[in-house]
């Protein structure tokens, strides 16, 4: 038995999170794509069946009150809050990440002084964030400036209204320094807007601790909410009275059933709501979040780093030198919960890996991307993935 196999057995035996694997529907496939779509929590199908058959099928319209449909956006927001370091009452769930990025950016610009005419955006961002930022700048008459996170401190000025940054780079897995960048943005008098899609549920975020102004994130990656599950919007408590949503729907009205022709926003984070909540996917998400009961985000982070360390070690052991190159930072403070390997024939390699039961994904033009969800990925999974990768590359 090889040294990596023996070490995997030892690490799995000592893993305090190992029992959580039983809370998911899994098979013999090594699933390392939870940074795109999380695995199915085992309690979700029964919950969705109850929502469809009883809440919708029997109670029908009564479920808005009797089944708590009406309060789901803020109730589920409070379930997400501790996973991103936020106190209750600051997160509302609903709409897509893209829509929430738009709300957050335009609201941030509206809260800034009129003479702040520049918007900064992460030049390495997921494309949609860039598209939305360009539209928000055009809509509000601001100039958009794309800079890398490392360039943000020197790019900030008294012209900056807001900066939109990604906590973790979706291609490389690089973790950006949210505390120091937020502090630098605030020192310039601007507002910080963070995209948490690749960090929430994988590592501590500390929204309240670090004074983040606004944040958004999806729920179908490390939060395992299911395909297309609704995203969330965080509005720091002291900013909520000033949060002026560019999408003032009836659901965020102070008196939604008053049907007033004029808009009066609801108090608190509720003003981040827009239209009728997508109840089926929202309540599937609520069920999925139950897997986090009694789970420490710190423990998740510790296992995440151990998994990625072990994967890099196994890749080095099983592949020829120079065949692949890690583009994910080695220092723990700069690494999210994924490993990205540069490989000349990455697209074909990933197809062959998937055919052999190791599922990651490919990012154009030459990146093999592997996501490590500590709630259900084992060290044996990691060893097998690296071993199969070595065989495929050979």
The token pair at 24 is: 């998911």
Q: Residue 370 has what pLDDT?
A: 98
| Interval 136-181: pLDDT, tens | 999 999 999 999 999 999 999 999 999 999 999 999 999 999 999 9
Gap between the Cα atoms of 355 and 349, Å rounded:
10
24 noted as active-site residue? no
303 noted as active-site residue? no
Residue-level length of the chain: 394
Contact by Cβ (8 Å): 66, 59 = yes
The residue among 318, 312, 302, 322 whose CA lies nearest residue 3 is: 318
Q: Which of 220, 222, 311, 376 is catalytic?
A: 220
- DSSP helix/strand/coil, 362: strand
103 noted as active-site residue? no
| Interval 113-124: pLDDT, tens | 999 999 999 999
Please state the rounded mean pLDDT for residues 189-217: 98
- DSSP helix/strand/coil, 182: helix
Q: Which of 369, 376, 381, 384 is catalytic?
A: 369
The token pair at 153 is: 């401190």
Give strand pairing partners of 195.
166, 216
The residue among 2, 22, 87, 60 whose CA lies nearest residue 291 is: 22
The residue among 379, 378, 225 whose CA lies nearest residue 291 is: 225
- Show the beta-strand stretches assigned E in 236-363: 325-326, 338-342, 358-359, 361-363
Q: Which of 33, 195, 213, 361 is catalytic?
A: 195
**What percent of the chain shows pLDDT beyond 90?**
99
Gap between the Cα atoms of 392 and 387, Å rounded:
9
3-state DSSP percent of the chain in helix, strand and coil, to 5: 45, 15, 40
What's the number of CA atoms in the CB half-sphere (13 Å) around residue 150? 5
- DSSP helix/strand/coil, 92: strand
Please state the rounded mean pLDDT for residues 37-47: 98
113 noted as active-site residue? no
| Interval 302-331: pLDDT, tens | 999 999 999 999 999 999 999 999 999 999
Element (DSSP H or E) covering residue 10: helix 3-13
Burial of 186 (0-12, 13-18, 19+ CB in 10 A): middle
Helices 3-13 + 379-393 axis angle, to 10: 160
Q: Is the peptide bond before 365 cis (omega within 30 degrees of 0)?
A: yes
**What is the 3 state secondary structure string of 324-393?**
CEECCCCCHHHECCEEEEECCCHHHHHHHHHHCCEECEEECCCEEEEECCCCCCCHHHHHHHHHHHHHHH
Please state the rounded mean pLDDT for residues 336-359: 97
pLDDT band at 6 (very low <50, low <70, confident <90, very high): very high
Gap between the Cα atoms of 222 and 204, Å rounded:
12
Q: Is 2's pLDDT higher than 90?
A: no
Burial of 70 (0-12, 13-18, 19+ CB in 10 A): middle
Q: Which of 24, 31, 102, 126 is catalytic?
A: 126
| Interval 70-111: pLDDT, tens | 999 999 999 999 999 999 999 999 999 999 999 999 999 999
171 noted as active-site residue? no
Contacts with 204 (C-beta within 8 Å, 6 or more apart), sequence order: 85, 297, 298, 301
**What percent of the chain shows pLDDT beyond 70?**
100
Q: How many CB atoms lie within 10 A of CB 226?
A: 21
The token pair at 139 is: 């809509």
For CA atoms 318, 320, 322, 323, the dihedral sign is negative
């Amino acid at each position: 038995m090889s040294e990596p196999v023996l070490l995997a057995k030892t690490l799995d035996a000592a893993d305090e999170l190992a029992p959580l694997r039983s809370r998911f529907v899994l098979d013999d496939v090594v699933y390392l794509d939870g940074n795109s779509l999380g695995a199915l929590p085992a309690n979700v199908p029964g919950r969705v069946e109850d929502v469809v058959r009883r809440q919708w099928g029997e109670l029908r319209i009564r479920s808005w009150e009797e089944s708590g449909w009406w309060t789901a956006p803020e109730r589920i927001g409070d379930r997400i809050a501790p996973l991103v370091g936020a106190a209750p009452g600051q997160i509302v769930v609903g709409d897509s990440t893209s829509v929430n990025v738009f709300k957050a950016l335009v609201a941030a610009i509206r809260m800034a002084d009129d003479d702040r005419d520049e918007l900064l955006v992460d030049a390495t961002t997921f494309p949609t964030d860039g598209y939305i930022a360009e539209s928000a700048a055009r809509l509000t008459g601001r100039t958009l400036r794309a800079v890398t996170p490392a360039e943000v401190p020197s790019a900030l000025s008294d012209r900056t209204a807001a900066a939109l940054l990604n906590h973790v780079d979706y291609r490389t897995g690089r973790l950006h320094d949210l505390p120091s960048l937020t502090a630098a943005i605030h020192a310039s008098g601007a507002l910080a807007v963070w995209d948490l899609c690749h960090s929430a549920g994988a590592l501590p975020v500390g929204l309240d601790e670090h004074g983040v102004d606004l944040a958004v994130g999806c729920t179908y990656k490390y939060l395992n909410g299911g395909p297309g599950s609704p995203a969330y919007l965080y509005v720091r408590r002291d900013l909520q009275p000033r949060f002026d949503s560019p999408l003032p729907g009836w659901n965020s009205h102070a008196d939604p059933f008053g049907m007033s022709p004029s808009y009066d926003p609801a108090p608190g984070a509720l003003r981040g709501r827009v239209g009728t909540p997508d109840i089926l996917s929202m309540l599937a998400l609520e069920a999925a979040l139950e897997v986090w009961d009694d789970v420490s985000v710190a423990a998740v982070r510790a296992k995440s780093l151990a998994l990625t360390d072990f994967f890099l070690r196994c890749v080095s052991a099983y592949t020829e030198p120079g065949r692949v190159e890690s583009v994910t930072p080695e220092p723990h403070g700069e690494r999210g919960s994924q490993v990205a390997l540069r490989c000349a024939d990455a697209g074909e390699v990933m197809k062959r890996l998937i055919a052999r039961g190791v599922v990651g994904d490919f990012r154009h033009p030459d990146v093999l991307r592997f996501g490590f969800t500590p709630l259900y990925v084992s060290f044996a999974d990691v060893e097998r993935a690296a071993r199969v990768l070595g065989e495929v590359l050979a």
